[in-house]
């Protein structure tokens, strides 16, 4: 990369302090142009920032980080200045007028770190999740991925695979020599051990439920308090509640954290057969689709009529005409709050079982798919008697590991990932 990028890397102004980063071969020239000098590497210094017209922009702290031992793997400069909008705009204008400098695109700093080998793809995915984390569970899982826990494990798997591949290559290259004509007897066991270890990871809770929240759908016929319960769980009057059947016409969702656990609650249209209203019919169809995607269904309808594994909820227990349920998991009144604390606690316990333990690495869909491909290739190699076919199975597994770390990937996938980052990251 020959161009130099700059961007505000701290929060939106106004703020007490703003940090503007510059990365690329022109970073040193940018420092010299604005301050008249380049400070000692990796030491903060005070400087007057002067633009191209000789006007003072601000008095700021500046730092110089020569590459390649930097966050991006390139020369890097930082300006720590006052966080007013006008101050930041003046510095950005002055940087933009320097030859070879341009504003960074979303995620471009991190993408350069990846391109220059400072981080791998799995660590970049963890960093993207860390930036969007809203709960403690999300933060700790993202930190584990961004910190390289999973990457180091994949590297270990890859090394073990290379050792097994070397045994096969010896057979292929020296098949006529008696001392290497046969595979070592431990070869099948080593491959099976590796496959089983990866299989344990595939059985772990996935990152999607942690990132998107444990999806809880409230369902049942009309006028059983679904929307009232929804509002109570999300602690907002998000859903309209009236005694009129069919008030809810669509699936209404709200994310919320309970005891630090992320949830996505969904209120649905009342389920019933005789529907003359076309819009209400569409709402019921969407409600059924929401049930299919749910991690858990709270069923407020007639006992035994809900989806399999749904929780039977006896709702509106404050009313004389409430429907009794012999096997109700919870008896609640969203109007009075009766039973709601027990329901929330039960939901938290269920969600925690479905989510990674605090600080555990969670695989996303891409990582899960690649590890699945690796286990299938290892299983094929494990049962092959032809060394050529066994070697091909190990090669396919190795390619899956390389894809996990971004050593073989596509520009489209990289564009999608790094577009999740903010401008200054």
Residue 85 CB neighbours (<10 A): 12
Look at residue 202 in the predicted model and tell me its pLDDT.
94
Look at residue 412 in the predicted model and tell me its pLDDT.
54
Look at residue 210 in the predicted model and tell me its pLDDT.
85
The whole-angstrom separation of Cα 339 and Cα 342 is: 5
The whole-angstrom separation of Cα 302 and Cα 320 is: 16
Q: Which helix (H) or strand (E) holds 256?
A: strand 252-258
> Per-residue confidence of the chain (425 residues) as pLDDT tens digits?
579 999 999 988 999 999 999 999 999 999 999 999 999 999 999 999 999 999 999 999 999 999 999 999 999 999 999 999 999 999 999 999 999 999 999 889 999 999 999 999 999 989 888 888 888 888 888 899 999 999 999 999 999 998 888 877 776 666 555 444 456 677 788 999 999 999 999 998 888 888 888 999 999 888 888 889 999 999 877 554 545 444 455 688 899 999 989 999 999 876 655 555 566 666 667 777 888 889 999 999 999 988 999 999 999 999 888 888 999 999 999 999 999 999 999 999 999 988 888 888 889 999 999 999 999 999 998 888 777 888 889 999 999 999 999 887 556 555 655 666 666 66
**What are the two backbone dihedrals, phi and then psi, of residue 194, each rounded to the nearest 5 degrees?**
-65, -45
DSSP-assigned letter for residue 49: E
Closest CA to 168 of 142, 188, 145: 188
CA angle at 112 for the pair 110 and 115, rounded to the nearest 5°: 115
**What are the two backbone dihedrals, phi and then psi, of residue 303, each rounded to the nearest 5 degrees?**
-60, 130
Name the token pair of 103.
């504003």
Sheet holding 45-50, edge to edge: 45-50, 56-65, 76-83, 15-23, 4-8, 101-103
Residues with Cβ within 8 Å of 389's Cβ and at least 6 positions away in sequence, in order, are 380, 381
Which residue bears the tokens 């929780």? 311
| b/e sequence 194-210, b meaning 16+ C-beta within 10 Å | bbeebeebeeebbbebb
Closest CA to 26 of 90, 100, 94, 92: 100
Residues with Cβ within 8 Å of 54's Cβ and at least 6 positions away in sequence, in order, are none
DSSP-assigned letter for residue 333: -
- The β-bridge relationship of strands 15-23 and 76-83 is antiparallel
Which residue bears the tokens 């890097």? 76
Q: Is the peptide bond before 14 cis (omega within 30 degrees of 0)?
A: yes
Look at residue 22 in the predicted model and tell me its pLDDT.
97
The whole-angstrom separation of Cα 390 and Cα 117 is: 31
Which residue bears the tokens 């969007």? 132
Which residue bears the tokens 């695109």? 105
Look at residue 208 in the predicted model and tell me its pLDDT.
83
**The model's pTM:** 0.72
Beta bridge partners of 331: 314
Name the token pair of 178.
């008696």
Residue 92 CB neighbours (<10 A): 17
Over the stretch 101-155, which tens digit does the pLDDT of each residue have?
Answer: 999 998 899 999 999 999 999 999 898 888 888 888 888 888 999 999 999 999 9
């Amino acid at each position: 990369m020959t161009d130099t990028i700059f961007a505000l890397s701290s929060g939106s102004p106004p703020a007490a302090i703003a940090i503007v980063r510059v990365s690329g071969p022109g970073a040193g020239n940018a420092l010299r142009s604005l301050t008249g000098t380049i400070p000692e590497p990796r030491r903060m210094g005070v400087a007057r920032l002067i633009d191209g017209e000789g006007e003072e922009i601000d008095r700021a702290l500046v730092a110089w980080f020569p590459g390649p031992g930097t966050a991006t793997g390139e020369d890097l400069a930082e300006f720590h200045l006052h966080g007013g909008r006008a101050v930041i705009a003046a510095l950005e204008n002055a940087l933009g007028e320097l030859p070879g400098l341009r504003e960074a695109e979303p995620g471009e700093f991190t993408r350069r770190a990846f391109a220059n080998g400072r981080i791998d793809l799995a660590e970049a995915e963890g960093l993207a999740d860390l930036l969007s984390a809203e709960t403690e569970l999300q933060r700790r899982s993202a930190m584990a991925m961004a910190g390289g826990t999973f990457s180091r494990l994949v590297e270990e798997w890859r090394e073990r695979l290379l050792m097994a591949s070397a045994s096969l290559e010896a057979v292929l290259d020296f098949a006529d020599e008696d001392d290497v004509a046969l595979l070592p007897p431990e070869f099948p066991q080593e491959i099976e051990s590796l496959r089983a270890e990866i299989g344990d990871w595939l059985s772990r809770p996935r990152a999607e439920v942690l990132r998107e929240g444990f999806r809880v759908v409230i369902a049942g016929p009309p006028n059983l308090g679904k929307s009232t319960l929804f509002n109570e769980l999300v602690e907002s009057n998000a859903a309209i509640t009236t005694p009129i059947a069919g008030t809810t016409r669509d699936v209404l969702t709200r994310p919320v954290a309970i005891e630090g656990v992320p949830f996505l609650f969904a209120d649905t249209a009342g389920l019933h057969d005789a529907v003359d209203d076309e819009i209400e019919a569409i709402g019921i169809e969407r409600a059924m689709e929401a049930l299919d995607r749910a991690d858990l269904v709270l069923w407020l309808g007639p006992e035994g009529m809900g989806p399999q594994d749904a929780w039977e909820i006896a709702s509106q227990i404050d009313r004389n005409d409430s429907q009794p349920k012999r096997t109700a998991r919870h008896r609640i009144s969203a109007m009075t709050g009766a039973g709601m604390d027990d329901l929330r606690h039960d939901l938290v316990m269920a969600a925690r079982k479905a989510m990674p333990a605090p600080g555990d690495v969670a695989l996303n869909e891409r990582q899960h798919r690649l590890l699945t491909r690796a286990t299938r290739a290892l299983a094929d190699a494990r049962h092959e008697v032809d060394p050529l076919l066994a070697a091909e199975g190990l090669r396919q597994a190795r390619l899956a590991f390389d894809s996990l770390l971004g050593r073989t990937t596509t520009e489209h996938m990289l564009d999608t990932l790094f577009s999740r980052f903010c401008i200054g990251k």
